[in-house]
Amino acid sequence: MLNNTITDLAEDNAINFREQLFKYLVHWKWFLLSAFFFFFLAKLYLRYSIPEYKSQTTLLIKREDSGGMSSELAAFQDLSMFSGAKRDLDDEIEVLKSRSLVEKTIKEGKFNISYAIEGRIKSSESYGENPVAIDFKGNIKNFFEKDTILSVKILSTKKFELFNANNSHVGNFNFGQVISSKELGDYVVNINEENAEDVNYNITIRLESIKKATNKFKSKLDVLNITKFTNVLEISFTDPVKEKAEDFLDKLVVIYNNDAIVDKNLISEKTARFINERLGIITGELDGVEKDVEKYKSKNSITDLPTEAELYIKNSSDSKKDEVIIGTQLKVVGIMIDFLKSNNNNDIIPANIVPDDNNSSSLIAEYNNLVIERNRVLKSSTTENPIVIRVNDKINSLKSSISESLNKLRSSLVIKNNAIANQGNIVNGRISQIPRQEREFRGIFRQQQIKEELYLYLFKKREETAITLAATAPISKVVDYAYSSDTPISPKRSLIYLVSLILGLLIPFSIIYILDLLDTKVKNKQDIDSNLSIPFIGDVPHSDSHNEIIQSNSRTSSAEAIRIIRTNLEFILNDVEKEKAKTIFLTSTLPKEGKTFIAINLAATIAISGKKVLLIGMDIRNPKLDEYVKLPSRGLTNFLSTKDASISDFIVKQKGYEKFDILPAGIIPPNPAELLMSKKVESMFEQLKSEYDYIVVDTAPVSLVTDTLLISKNADTFVYVVRANYLDKAFLRTPESLYKEGKLPNMCVLLNDTDTKNGYGYGYGQEEVKKPWYKKIFSFSILG
């Protein structure tokens, strides 16, 4: 069960898609015509549009951290002047796109001046090989704010005619002649004879204001980082003239590098000027401090204070040492003198304790020898011995000499000791002055040292700045100079053709879609099925001969459709009693839906099949049967309004048919509803059902009057006619309500006047009239 439901849904979706597709395919001629029209517009646009070319150059931004410093500066990497801040690529991109850089490039390259050679339809810009060239002297104020047009007509290789922006004649001039103007100042027009092959043609010279030109050029300039891992930038520029775009990019890069060098040199120059000024000041201050040092040393008899201080300390130490030695020697000499006084000439005087004195030491040695000699002699003789006496005399004499020598030695040592003491006092005095002198000298020396270090520092920086000025390198390197592609980026031919094709298909599609969206009329069976639950018995295509009645030899699509409807009705009327006529009522929602056309042709079709048929016109308010066949004025209304009249007196036989009778509606009565409510209507149908095989009744529209509902009980089936492209879908609620409420017995729906070009129609044996292709196109309505 579920599989069957899914299959049905898939089939419905497929049918719906095919119908939607066919709704557009049926208008294929309009799609084709629209596609050709937009293709022609695309060709026209491409023919006269000005192509835009893209030029690009690649630039390597040098960075110290990525090995960007040039090799010629590598030797100076240790100098602080070459260790500046790293360049940020984002900053450099903004600099390259900056308004000031673009403006300077335009001014230097004169890109705000353009030349155009006038053509029949469009003018083309001439660049590089211009027949003429204008040289503005720019000697007026606000020259770069001017925005004007000049036109030059070459008369010969020597003369030309000049027109201003208003196409007013300025005058005839010679090439190379200075032309004065209040607006533009002085300017000269020169001719390039190699490019001026012909005369008598106009050249338009456009001078754009620098603001306008900068805005235009800046909008066409783009700078991108090729990859985030490299320092390479791609600079691109679009322009109708490839050569102009390439020159602009090359000039932009040159000015960018020059500006960077100027900026760097400007800093170095200002630094050098500052250093030189400071060096002059420091040199004078340093000379003053050095003179102060000289005066202080001269005043205090100082050559080198630390050395002299060390020497004074050493002398003081030596003096103290000498004082100790001299003091010791004085004590030794005193002891010796005291020993001599107490000596009885028998004892030996100590030797080698007397300070260095050759005289005393030799006398003591001689004295000790004599004492030893005497004592040796006394061992064998007496004191009276002449030898002993003589030796004693010598001993006494030597003793006196020794005593005198020691006294002299003591006197010399005392003098020497006093001299050493005086010298020590002097040295100690000088030493006591050293802290003050050192403090005073350090203050002067500190100033000298500061000035000297500052002088040396500035001198070093001056040399570094000089090296920087002499070896300033560009901050970027051109990897690829500007080049352009031969294929324009705008307009893109393939894209234009694609857009034209899309528009060519989209415009008719949109029109058809919008018209279909706004059209709420019933179109086809799908509209019936989606809005009604009433059985559908068929549709009748549009008939050009709608006033003609179907004959036995009719082969039109309408005739075939009505035959099919006749067949379908047989299934609906299968339960009707065989002894009675099958009664078919036809009605509609509104007038002019074709129910009368269907009624008379359905009756004729049944009559052709050999059945006895009666067609009754019961739309007594607005009878239409007489539009199809010639009928008398008397009819149904006359029968109903006459008491003893016979119905057979009002029935007429249709010519050309053996078993086709018609009961006209008769005269339009003042009380149609009352007539239809009379009992004679029922008795009439009772009688007629026994006399005919089929009774076809044309009734009034149900939405306007109640006539049809009053007589509906006499019908075996109701054929509800809906006219395509006429009845609004909102009105389908009326038959749906009647069907659900059962007010019209055995209802079925018939769709009338359908479009044969949308797939309806049969045409067995119908001859098709061939038309020329152009008539088919222009006779083909977009609505079908």
pTM score = 0.54
Which one of 39-43, 187-191, 703-707 scores highest in mean pLDDT? 39-43
Instruction: Cite the DSSP H helix spans in 692-780.
Output: 707-711, 733-741, 773-778
pLDDT of 120 higher than 60? no
Q: What is the 3-state secondary structure (H, E, C) of 447-506?
A: HHHHHHHHHHHHHHHHHHHHHHHHCCCCCEEEEEEEEECCCCCECCHHHHHHHHHHHHHH
119 pLDDT tier (thresholds 50, 70, 90): low
Mean pLDDT of the chain: 81
Q: Bigger pLDDT: 311 or 304?
A: 311
Percentage of residues in the chain having pLDDT higher than 90? 32
* Eight-state DSSP code of residue 443: H
How many beta carbons lie within 10 A of that of residue 547, not counting itself? Answer: 10
pLDDT of 727 higher than 90? yes
* Eight-state DSSP code of residue 78: T
How many beta carbons lie within 10 A of that of residue 749, not counting itself? Answer: 24
The Cα angle at residue 451 between residues 448 and 452, in degrees rounded to 5: 80
Q: What is the mean pLDDT of residues 648-671?
A: 92
The Cα angle at residue 780 between residues 774 and 784, in degrees rounded to 5: 165
Cα separation of the two ends of the chain:
40
**What does 733-744 look like in DSSP terms, one character per residue?**
HHHHHHHHHT-S
Which one of 4-18, 82-96, 217-231, 436-450 scores highest in mean pLDDT? 217-231
Buried b (16+ CB within 10 A) or exposed e, 437-471: beeebeebbebbeebeebbeebeebbebbebbeee
The backbone torsions φ and ψ at residue 233, rounded to the nearest 5 degrees and listed phi first, read -110, 145
Q: Bigger pLDDT: 362 or 590?
A: 590
* Block residue for tokens 């590089």: 128
Q: Which of 90-94, 297-301, 464-468 has the lowest mean pLDDT?
A: 297-301
The backbone torsions φ and ψ at residue 346, rounded to the nearest 5 degrees and listed phi first, read -100, -20
Q: Which of 529, 524, 530, 588 is nearest to 734 (CA)?
A: 588
**What are the residues whose beta carbons fall under 8 Å from the beta carbon of 172, sequence distance 6 or more?**
155, 159, 160, 161, 162
Which one of 118-132, 325-339, 430-444, 522-536 scores highest in mean pLDDT? 522-536
pLDDT of 345 higher than 80? no
220 pLDDT tier (thresholds 50, 70, 90): very high
Q: Which of 172-181, 323-332, 431-440 has the lowest mean pLDDT?
A: 431-440
Q: What is the mean pLDDT of residues 429-439?
A: 63
Q: Bigger pLDDT: 26 or 781?
A: 26
Whole-angstrom Cα distance, residue 605 to residue 613?
A: 10
The pLDDT score that the predictor gives to residue 219 is 93
Q: What is the pLDDT of residues 59-112, one digit of tens each?
A: 998 865 544 444 434 444 444 444 443 457 888 899 999 999 999 999 999 898
Instruction: Cite the DSSP H helix spans in 354-385.
Output: 358-378
Q: What is the pLDDT of residues 540-573, one digit of tens each?
A: 998 877 677 878 777 788 889 999 999 999 999 9
Instruction: Cite the DSSP H helix spans in 72-126.
Output: 89-96, 99-109
Whole-angstrom Cα distance, residue 511 to residue 782?
A: 9
Whole-angstrom Cα distance, residue 739 to residue 744?
A: 7
Q: Is 232 helix (H, G, I), strand (E, B) or coil?
A: strand
The pLDDT score that the predictor gives to residue 117 is 80
137 pLDDT tier (thresholds 50, 70, 90): confident
The pLDDT score that the predictor gives to residue 532 is 93
The pLDDT score that the predictor gives to residue 200 is 65
Q: What is the mean pLDDT of residues 17-29?
A: 81
Please tell me whether the peptide bond between 669 and the residue prior to it is cis, using omega within 30 degrees of 0. Answer: no
Q: Which of 604, 619, 571 is nearest to 716 (CA)?
A: 571
* Block residue for tokens 């009559």: 607
493 pLDDT tier (thresholds 50, 70, 90): confident
Q: What is the pLDDT of residues 351-380, one digit of tens each?
A: 666 666 557 777 777 777 777 777 777 777
pLDDT of 619 higher than 90? yes
One-letter amino acid of 396: N
How many beta carbons lie within 10 A of that of residue 587, not counting itself? Answer: 29
What are the angstrom distances between the C-alpha of 36 and each of 18, 27, 500, 506?
26, 15, 9, 13
Q: What is the mean pLDDT of residues 434-460?
A: 71
Give the pair of three-digit tokens for residue 197. 């092959």
Q: What is the mean pLDDT of residues 730-755?
A: 93
